[in-house]
Structure 1
């Protein structure tokens, strides 16, 4: 008896044996699994990328500027008192009118700076910070009243008493409140970085686990088709596999890279910037101690306070040299320290007029001149750190650009290609 004749060409089954009867169901299950996992990868990876971008903005546009503002507020308050001390010491001496105008101008600029910083803090403050800002505003009003009294009485003996009252308000009320705001803002900055790290870890985990699972499903489906239908390569499934591999590897790489940018921005730029802001505030407070030593009833106390603060600035671990990476800032501060020692020595020897001239003068070798040279150098280093921070945060943002839609494009392609890859094989059973 002759062999039966197939109505169509013999399908390319393995060993000429038709596939088992449940093959269509197996194909549908495996294609469905691919689609489900691809949809899960799309959803979770998109969410991770959106969260990562939000964290970059939270750090670059909110947490870091708030910390910088709080640090700037503390520094500006510290300088207010230094300028008041200069003006009280100069008094009505017409020979030093230039120094008095310089100190008054600086005082006015710092006052505007304090007001602007408080407005910025108040604009984003929660209830706790708002209460601190209100305390600061109240204390600042009292401080300015005391300063006005001291300047009005600058040529009279009671000027020193009014100035002492003003500086007590600054040190007992204003600076502690400003330090509270500064510490809270830096704590929020740390929280923002911690949240960013968790987002990075979660995103990489999703990319590796779900991406890996999707690759396994696609490879198993391809192997099943190869063994069952003798199809070495399914173009649609191959394209889907390449898309998944690119998506998973690309997403993990981008998340890690943007995390490294943010970490570099913090450790190499923002942290040194904030530390320099603290050091700058200490230097201004120490410079004010030079004036307080000439105004206060206990010059030795203010001289010891200056020595303590100066030791912080010249320390090996957290001093100016360590913060800036060079010895220039420390050397410039040592120049001002020598001025302080000379001024205190002159006052101790009864040569008060010479001491006041050495503190308030604007010529090279005077304390005000040397401090300006020191502060200019500090400002230049801080500005460089600020630029570097902005550049790294911007780079992190650029790395994430487009990644809120790339997962949808790649995973969506997989969702389309997986059913397309098995469609022709399923058609053979109709």
Structure 2
């Protein structure tokens, strides 16, 4: 038993020793007589912690695939360029609509809104000023039988201007519905005009009762007229001027904004249009190369139409910008300068009559007359005594070399001559203004010499060489110059209205729809080959 067991044990050791790897000692097994240990399992591959995972990783992988040449098979390339072309055409249509629509709205605001309202407010100022001038003339001629016909004519003119002022106020009130500042100014005129008219009527009644001679109104009538003219100059005229200024500010703001938009819009439209042409050309070339065709008629037509539409759109933008400059800078600026000049001139004419009618305030009215003369034609440093002489010198220099050596509203106009016939009309204004100033100087000489009735006759007379005649010539010349510019402004606005009307918008929509359809028609047969 013992011997056999030992033999079996030895045999086992031998077997174990024989099964050991080469180069290993038999005694190196840590557990003699125990079973051999199992070989270790291979370790799982480690994922580096820095590699991206999730949605961002998938997007980057997709971008890498799309960036590879293998991804862009012919159908994918054609579909991508088709989508790009369609998007570019839609972008071109949207850009053109925005730019040209803004041009139409801006021109409408200036041409049909703020500019006419500003001119109407200036006309209101003119009507109010002439009302007061006629009231002063009625007070000045009094009950003198030598002026009976003139009294009737003057009273008729006063009533005409009152009706004109009422009409201007009604229109100004309607136009100021959306402008709180203008609305307040109009309401102030409406509220005070009745008081003014009542004071003028009282002055006339007192004058008729006193039967005062020419140039010497009764103190009671003069007091009532002072109250009336103070109300006019301190309340009515500033309020009318406020309405004018508010609309002028709107015109200036819209003009500056619209010109900036049109300039930027031109370049934006050009960029989008060129992008559309490049996309269409790339699509055309891809079809030619991948399908071995020289030209795709539908895409060629779309490319040609797009080029024509782009050129037409850029031309319309340039035309709208040119019309805007004509309407505002060339025409409106002259209209408003001359409208203000005419309104101030009528108030100046009233000062001439006030000077004769009210000796207590004669120096004040003489000073305000000069201030208003300077507003029309500014001659720096001129005084009442030398104004007409310096005006002669400045006018002679202008006629000699066409320079404008003076400022004021008339200086603004003569520096902005643009349209046929405008220079002749403006120079007639200058000539009439010179004649009127010469007569005014004579009136003051007669007054200072104590020849009051002769001064009154010269001031109120309607014959050539008398003040009211010469002033009427001045007013007509101003009106003619305003008409030249008003017609040009209306023509520029109408040109933009015609170019950007509903017909243009409808035609553009039809052309865009046709272009989109033609792109689809040109590409669809090629893509069907891959179905």
- TM normalised by structure 1 equals 0.91
Whether 1:323 and 2:376 are equivalent positions in the alignment is no
Q: Provide the rounded CA distance (Å) in 2 between the counterparts of 1:21 and 1:368.
A: 88
Q: Provide the rounded CA distance (Å) in 1 between the counterparts of 2:227 and 2:466.
A: 27
Provide the alpha-carbon RMSD of the alignment.
1.9
Whether 1:301 and 2:364 are equivalent positions in the alignment is yes
Deviation at 1:115, TM superposition (A): 0.9
Q: Provide the rounded CA distance (Å) in 2 between the counterparts of 1:189 and 1:94.
A: 51
Deviation at 1:41, TM superposition (A): 2.1
1:390-409 mapped onto 2 (5 Å cutoff): 390-401=490-501, 402-409=503-510
Spell out, residue by residue over 1:355-375, the C-alpha distance to the aligned partner (whole angstroms, 9 max, x if none): 111111222222111111121
CA 1:50/1:378 → structure 2, altered by over 3 Å: closer, same or farther? same
- Match for residue 332 of structure 1 among 428, 432, 442: 432
Q: Provide the rounded CA distance (Å) in 2 between the counterparts of 1:411 and 1:258.
A: 22
Moved more, 186-195 or 106-115: 186-195
Please give the secondary structure, in 2, of the residue aligned with 1:153: helix
Q: Is the 8 A contact 1:50 1:404 kept in 2?
A: no
1:59 corresponds to which residue?
110
2:334 corresponds to which residue?
272
Q: Is the 8 A contact 2:122 2:339 kept in 1?
A: yes
Deviation at 1:410, TM superposition (A): 2.5
Deviation at 1:116, TM superposition (A): 0.9
Deviation at 1:199, TM superposition (A): 4.3
Q: Provide the rounded CA distance (Å) in 1 between the counterparts of 2:361 and 2:449.
A: 15
2:530 corresponds to which residue?
429
- Match for residue 128 of structure 1 among 169, 177, 181: 181
Deviation at 1:285, TM superposition (A): 1.3
Deviation at 1:327, TM superposition (A): 3.1
Q: Provide the rounded CA distance (Å) in 1 between the counterparts of 2:343 and 2:96.
A: 44
Q: Is the 8 A contact 2:374 2:408 kept in 1?
A: no
1:91 corresponds to which residue?
142
The structure whose Rg is larger is 2
- Match for residue 144 of structure 1 among 192, 197, 201: 197
Q: Provide the rounded CA distance (Å) in 1 between the counterparts of 2:198 and 2:187.
A: 17
Moved more, 320-329 or 212-221: 320-329
Q: Which runs of 4+ in 1 moved over 4 A?
A: none
Q: Is the 8 A contact 1:136 1:173 kept in 2?
A: yes
Q: Provide the rounded CA distance (Å) in 2 between the counterparts of 1:421 and 1:221.
A: 10
Provide the aligned length of Structure 1 versus Structure 2.
412
1:231-246 mapped onto 2 (5 Å cutoff): 231-246=293-308
Deviation at 1:416, TM superposition (A): 1.0
Deviation at 1:284, TM superposition (A): 0.9
2:373 corresponds to which residue?
310
Unmatched 5+ residue regions in structure 2?
Answer: 1-69, 213-217, 379-405, 415-422
Spell out, residue by residue over 1:125-173, the C-alpha distance to the aligned partner (whole angstroms, 9 max, x if none): 1332222111111211121111111111223332112111111111111
Please give the secondary structure, in 2, of the residue aligned with 1:231: coil
Deviation at 1:236, TM superposition (A): 1.0
- Match for residue 517 of structure 2 among 406, 416, 420: 416
Spell out, residue by residue over 1:351-397, the C-alpha distance to the aligned partner (whole angstroms, 9 max, x if none): 21111111112222221111111211111111121111111111122
Q: Provide the rounded CA distance (Å) in 1 between the counterparts of 2:303 and 2:506.
A: 19
Unmatched 5+ residue regions in structure 1?
Answer: 1-18
Please give the secondary structure, in 2, of the residue aligned with 1:403: helix
1:226 corresponds to which residue?
288
- Match for residue 80 of structure 2 among 29, 41, 53: 29
2:400 corresponds to which residue?
none
Q: Is the 8 A contact 1:90 1:96 kept in 2?
A: yes
Q: Which has the higher contact order (CA 8 A, sep 6+)?
A: 1
Q: Is the 8 A contact 1:45 1:206 kept in 2?
A: no
Deviation at 1:286, TM superposition (A): 1.1
- TM normalised by structure 2 equals 0.74
